[in-house]
Chains A and B, each alone.
Chain A
Amino acid sequence: MRRRHGLFNVSYEQEIAIIRTRFEWTVFLAFLLLMAILPKLLSLGWLDFFIRWGITIVAVMGLNLITGYCGQISLGHAAFMGMGGFTGAILLNLGLPFVVVLPLAGLAAGISGLVFGMPALRVKGLYLAFTTLAAHHIIMTVLVRLMGGITGHEVRPPVIFGLVIDSEVRVYYFLFVIVALCTFVAKNIARGKAGRAFVAVRDHDIAANTLGINVYYYKLLVFFIGCCFAGVGGLIHVVYFGWASVEAFTLWNAIWYLGMLIVGGMGTISGVFFGTFFILGIEQVGFSLAPRVGEAIPAIAGTILGALPVIVFSLILMLFIVFEPKGLSHRWEIIKESFRLFPFNY
């Protein structure tokens, strides 16, 4: 990342620092403050939107490690989320405390990710997409047949250190902490040794192997870590809606997550925030616009609600892939750059 002129990194710590200058600290703290007082400013409907945004960030953050950093295509991410969600729901209903269930749900998803990431040792690219597609269907069958997915599980509001997470506002603040934690962990994995190994595997796995990177180890590691994120996201999803159901974890969701990654920009942490916000926002707008479009064109009024978000999402995704393949975070960097250089744009 480029700095303001005359500002030099004189130590390794400064070189790898996430937040470097005082201005960046100000912006970061202002963003945190804004997010912290958000529930006071927003109506309940918009708070719901932000909670869904947070849950999606946690899940897509994991997918970003798998697909964005390590280049392993996963179409099974929604299923891994479901695995975490269902495991968490069953354990919560057994009466385990939430602080124990949260890591266990992540672990359950991570282990299933490890099992279904195994084919990644042999196949890659298109073929890996298929094994993860198969993984999705197999995990879904396990959830439906063995873990009570036909009826679903009711989940009572969990208790964290004596505090009952039962209202939207409380879920929001809880999620706020989780998202911050996940972002911090993901960022540190990505800029550390493991993250650099992931990028090497993504860019050319055979070359990475000759450089002494244990490709098999890092492929399995990334599936484990990424699916842990998915499991945590799935658990919070289940807790927020108070109901664990396979309806929430379809293949369709997995495709949306990949789409969010593309729109945001693969292999960047900020891209996860941009992509999820953009796509969820589009979906929200689509749902609110659909009735009006239906009024304007009565012939399609009955089917517009189901079709419009799907069509808009697909179109946006295709346009992004063809015209802006590096995603929004790349555009964001360009905008920042032009501000930095402001009067002299060269």
Chain B
Amino acid sequence: MDQGIINYLITGMASGFVYSMVAIGFILIFKCSKIFNFAQAEVTILGAYIFYAATIQLKLPLFFGALLTIGTVTVLALMIERVLLRPLIGQPILPIIILTLALGSLIRGGIILGWGSEMLRPPSLFPAKGLSLGTLGNLSYPHVFFFLVSCVLILSLSIYYRYSRGGLAMRVTADDTVVARLLGIKVTRVLATTWSIASVVGAVGGVLLTSVTGIHYSAVEMGFKSMTVALVGGLESLPGAIIVGPLLGVIETMVAVYLDPLVGGGLSEVSGFFVLMIVLIFRPYGIFGWEIIERV
């Protein structure tokens, strides 16, 4: 194979791991409550802003900054779950979708209010030089880290879902809240746990991501691509996210390199959406998702 193609493959996959990582947050909440949280991308970015505030503005050490970030985001997630989403359990899908969209814009408004709209420079977490792959080029440390973190997260969460009692409770809740209550599962606690886990995962992803790109609220655009990854992979499938994420990254890179020059650019930005539409038309529940048969 051509040297260039391998290089593009590697960069594409590396950027794809970021998508996988944010996609985990969407999948976690959906698996447990059948709610798709459009505000997940905003929570991700908010995590980065709080980390910035803690480490740069309050001058805390990195470790305490991380603790503070995780704590704040958890409290926030619990509040969101308690105040906004619990009254809507069992409601039609449309109000819930619009509610999470509104929540996202509220968080975005809060970010603009609190930190303005300039690009902020976060504390650097990684050495600048990348991991050398010999003649193939460099793989930067953050991307290696994304890959490892998403793999560890997905593996541990999958094991938790599959084998632990808590995971079983989550699966029951996802299937039918009434049955879960009958079995003695505290549904509200399960939902609260899921929201906290998803938000913390999102915030960690946000901190890692913005340590490379710089903090700006427009990074929520990246959230839309992660949603694409979650949907194409299947909203119930954690492994789907880690397979589809790099795939989408590769597709984007390939389109940017080979097709964009032909049409004058811009195609790579929407290639993910083309993939999404095609996949949803032929497999509406995603590649690894569960097909749900509807009864009247």
Contacts and interface: CB of A to CB of B under 8 A. Distances in A.
Interface of A: 67, 71, 73, 118-119, 122-123, 125-127, 129-131, 133-135, 137-138, 141, 144-145, 204, 206-207, 210, 252, 255, 258-259, 262, 266, 300, 302-304, 306-308, 310-311, 313-315, 317-318, 321-322, 325
A122 B267 CA distance: 25
Given A126-B36, A127-B231, 9 more contacts: A118-B281, A125-B94, A204-B296, A210-B296, A258-B101, A302-B116, A303-B117, A314-B105, A314-B106
B93 interface: yes
B9 interface: no
B269 A141 contact: yes
B133 interface: no
A315 B102 CA distance: 8
Interface of B: 36, 84, 87-88, 91, 93-95, 97-99, 101-103, 105-106, 108-110, 112-117, 224, 227-228, 231, 263-267, 269-270, 273-274, 276-277, 280-281, 284-285, 294, 296
Q: By DSSP majority rule, is chain B's interface helix, strand, loop, or mixed?
A: helix
Contacts of A310: 105-106, 108-109, 112
B113 A307 contact: yes
Contacts of B103: 314, 318
B270 A130 contact: no
Contacts of B113: 300, 303-304, 307-308, 311
Contacts of A303: 112-117
Nearest to A139: B270
A318 B103 CA distance: 7
B284 A127 contact: yes
Contacts of B94: 67, 71, 73, 125, 266
A118 B266 CA distance: 24
Contact of A306 (B87, B112, B224): B112
28 contacts: A67-B94, A119-B280, A122-B284, A125-B94, A126-B97, A134-B228, A134-B277, A137-B270, A138-B270, A138-B274, A138-B277, A141-B269, A145-B263, A206-B294, A252-B105, A255-B105, A258-B98, A259-B102, A262-B95, A300-B113, A303-B112, A303-B113, A303-B115, A303-B116, A303-B117, A310-B112, A314-B102, A314-B105
Nearest to B95: A321
Given A138-B270, A314-B102, A119 B117 contact: no
